[in-house]
Chains A and B, each alone.
Chain A
């Protein structure tokens, strides 16, 4: 049950786009379309932003999008805004019926 691999930090200026990667194995990310992404602001509970690789829950801005290629999933945020500054986590269902998270990525809006 190794954690998925995410970059520790990414940054971008307002209006720019950034992409956060999430690398797993064929037993999790690569094997299922059950990758989800979460946004967490300090002291708050995580919030679902993307599910099933690329679907957005109701109420989530269309500036957030997700994709997957092989064992790597990606979250793209376009038109960066100050409020997007937060920690982001990916998660995947696994072949053992467990779930696994990535280590988290701190997004800084410059």
Chain B
């Protein structure tokens, strides 16, 4: 059974950093495209970043240069390193399996709050 479990969210001050993790089971992260998607409180879904099985990475303009997506094949885990955080980065962050260029499986999400 495919399962995705995010962790690492919390309260952080503006300008701070946070690293989110997404532990996968039931499939191999490194063999799939994997994305991060976020949802600000009361707002819609916003795609954040993707890492391809070959290692290529892409980012939304809103996070480019501040966020870095990566994976640890030995831990079958996806990461999102978030630096220079802003209030507008406050959201629930979901990881999703992006194979087939659609989001077939989602985690339960982890809340990131950027506030002083």
List residues of A whose CB falls within 8 A of some B CB. 1, 3, 32, 34, 36, 38, 40, 45-48, 51-52, 57, 87, 89, 91, 93, 96-104
Contacts and interface: CB of A to CB of B under 8 A. Distances in A.
Contact of A104 (B45, B58, B59, B62): B45
Contact of B103 (A52, A91, A98): A91
Nearest to B50: A99
Contacts, number: 65
Contacts of A38: 45, 103
A102 B107 CA distance: 20
B21 interface: no
Interface in B6-50: 35, 37, 44-47, 50
Interface of B: 35, 37, 44-47, 50, 56, 58-62, 94, 98, 100-104, 106-109
Contacts of A45: 94, 106-109
A1 B108 CA distance: 26
A103 B40 CA distance: 12
Residue among A36, A40, A45, A51 having the largest count of chain B Cβ atoms under 10 Å: A45
Given A51-B100, A57-B104, A102 B44 contact: yes
A93 B47 CA distance: 11
Contact of A97 (B58, B62, B102): B58
Contacts of B94: 45-46
B44 A91 contact: no
Closest 3 CB pairs of A and B: A36-B102, A104-B44, A51-B102
